Amino acid sequence: MSKELTKRADDYSQWYNELVVKAGLADHSAVRGCMVIKPYGYALWENMRDQLDKRFKETGHVNAYFPLFVPKSLFEAEEKNAEGFAKECAIVTHYRLKTDPQNKGKLIVDPDAKLEEELIVRPTSEAIIWNTYKGWIQSYRDLPLLINQWANVVRWEMRTRLFLRTAEFLWQEGHTAHATRNEAIIETEKMLDVYAEFVEDWMAVPVIKGIKTASERFAGAEETYCIEAMMQDGKALQAGTSHFLGQNFAKAFDVKFSDKENKLDYVWATSWGVSTRLIGALIMAHSDDQGLVMPPKIAPVQVVIIPIYKGEESKPVIDEKVATIIAELKVLGIRVKYDDSDNTRPGWKFAEYELKGVPVRIAMGLRDMENNVVELARRDTKEKKSVSLNGLSTYIKDLLQEIQQNIYNNALAFRNEKTSVVNTWEEFVKVLDEKAGFVAAHWDGTPETEEKIKQESKATIRCIPLNNVQEEGKCILTGKPSTQRVLFARAY
């Protein structure tokens, strides 16, 4: 098996593509743009999902499940939303196949099985959910309605990449209904905070919270909040969004409620989501030329133990000692794997677990046992040292925390280094070309200027940061007055 990984500096994009496959996270499938998430990649997703799910529930949400298909008439009800997604929808038009009379053993679509109304494979579920909410909401007592679903969605993207942009992807989508505008806005911001905390604390990826400009806004939203992350090639990645939908969907689906004074009003809505794209962010934020670097908190395997033995006799002795280490680690809730497979040698295993990004590796041989130590290597710094068996489990527990923090600190330092403040168009273009990263610059606030900047520099406004400093300035393109800087970047 060839495991030689392309270097990031040689071809970042190829490095990413190879890494995803070679580390065993995912594979291409027989279906254009759709991936197979392999057990190691799925274990990662499960850890992320479980942690997010816990936080959703802590903030009062419950899970439900809505259909994969959306009847076209419902899909088109909220006009802007429909328009925004129309270009990338998969559509079910028939419900039956039959054997081809011209070609034995082959199937054709049965022309007699045409659906009366086409079904859209959900690219997002606002339509089907709001159609359902109409039947669930009559009174202010039914509010707030705080529901999340874990699901797959399909967006027929022209150009796909594993995890970053696939035609089908896994995500969660929260859809909430509220009695007041203010309450819905608070919800939108609260869920953005949940995302930001999760991505920073668990995935060790620092993010900038902000709001999108009108042209980058979710189709059908009044305001789109987002978290933006910085990748190692200096490109930005939108890691999550939380939308304040106003009363747009309530009006489109006629969802009204009676308040305490028996006045009828449309409900206020939010929706928010993160997807398997986060895995792409994780990979591109931390990993290196040897492979993945997993933050311990979400690593499927936190500690791998590799036995080193001479002759079959010594193996059981090591096994026995390792069993006690594993037991101690498990007591502390540490996810540990003992790789005593005998079809590869230690050196091969070392390289393999580096590729897979396991945070801590322990090598254990007779020599170590005699000295009451293990050889311990950390993935993030690649340091190796002997550590006493006495108190090993608490040492590792602390070390995992330190690694988590160190990975975050590195990513933060990198992002800070890749964040520039510029005042002129020349500087702006120069920084984008030579240094990349986030560029804070003044913008006159018009969509026309935003579009022109995009055309000429390929950079988009990633967000207007929350709690942004207000300062007088001049738009880098038009020279018109501006009251604040916005964050530009080339993005995924």
Partner RNA sequence: CGGGAUGUAGCGUAGCCCGGUUAUCGCGCCUGGUUUGGGACCAGGAGGUCGCAAGUUCGAAUCUUGCCAUCCCGACCA
d(CA 302, CA 306): 13
Q: How far is the CB of 321 from RNA (least distance, A)?
A: 11
CB of 443 to RNA, least distance (A): 18
State how far the alpha carbon of 301 is from the alpha carbons of 333, 425, 485, 490, in Å.
Answer: 12, 47, 42, 34
φ, ψ (nearest 5 deg) of residue 347: -60, -40
Q: Which residues bind RNA (CB under 7 A)?
A: 1-5, 13-14, 17, 28, 30-34, 84-85, 87-88, 123-124, 155, 157-162, 165, 216-219, 221, 224, 238, 241, 243, 273, 275, 290, 308-312, 342-348, 350-352, 354-355, 363-368, 374-375, 377, 382, 384, 458
Omega prior to 300 cis, within 30 of 0: no
Distance between CA atoms of residues 113 and 90, nearest Å = 18
Contact 59, 194 (CB under 8 A): yes
Provide the minimum distance between the beta carbon of 243 and RNA in the complex, in angstroms, as a whole number: 7
User: Nearest distance from residue 265's CB to RNA, in Å?
Assistant: 25
Smaller CB separation from RNA, 290 or 423: 290
Q: Which residues are within 8 A (CB) of 450 and not within 5 positions of it... i.e. 6 or more apart?
A: 213, 215, 443, 460, 461
Q: Are strands 470-474 and 481-489 parallel, antiparallel or unpaired?
A: antiparallel
d(CA 392, CA 378): 14
- Shortest reach from residue 146's CB to RNA, in Å: 21
CB of 135 to RNA, least distance (A): 25
Interatomic CA distance for residues 131 and 161, integer angstroms: 33
Place of tokens 């895995």: 279
Maximum CA extent, the chain: 83
Residues in Cβ contact with 135 at an 8 Å cutoff, skipping those fewer than 6 apart: none
- The distance of closest approach from Cβ of residue 377 to RNA in the complex, given in angstroms and rounded to an integer, is 5
Q: How far is the CB of 284 from RNA (least distance, A)?
A: 12
Q: Measured from the CB atom, is 138 or 290 closer to RNA? A: 290
Pairing status of strand 336-338 against strand 303-308: parallel
CB-based burial of residue 180 (10 Å sphere; 0-12 exposed, 13-18 middle, 19+ buried)? Answer: middle
Q: Which is nearer to RNA, 369 or 466 (CB)?
A: 369
Considering the complex, state which of residue 72 and residue 212 has its C-beta at the smaller distance from RNA. 212
Question: Least separation, in Å, of the C-beta of 262 and RNA?
Answer: 36
Asked if 61 contacts 52 with a C-beta cutoff of 8 angstroms, the reply is no
Which residues are registered as beta bridge partners of 170?
Answer: 152
CB closer to RNA out of 87 and 430 = 87
Nearer to RNA, 165 or 256 (CB): 165
Which CB, 136 or 348, lies closer to RNA? Answer: 348
Q: Which segments within 233-335 are labelled E, that is strand?
A: 236-246, 256-258, 264-266, 268-275, 303-308
- Give the torsion sign (CA, 73, 265, 192, 448): positive
Q: Which is nearer to RNA, 19 or 179 (CB)?
A: 19
Given the complex with RNA, which of 34 and 43 has the nearer CB atom? 34
Which residue number, 356 or 442, has a Cβ lying nearer to RNA?
Answer: 356
* Residue 351: CB minimum distance to RNA, A: 3
Nearer to RNA (CB atom), residue 98 or residue 384:
384
The answer to whether the beta carbons of residues 113 and 96 sit under 8 Å apart is yes
Residues 166, 90: Cα–Cα separation, whole Å: 13
Q: Half-sphere exposure of 412 toward its Cβ, with a 13 Å CA cutoff?
A: 12
CA 118-120-123 angle, to 5 degrees, is: 170
**Contact between 255 and 130 (Cβ < 8 Å):** yes
Provide the minimum distance between the beta carbon of 182 and RNA in the complex, in angstroms, as a whole number. 22
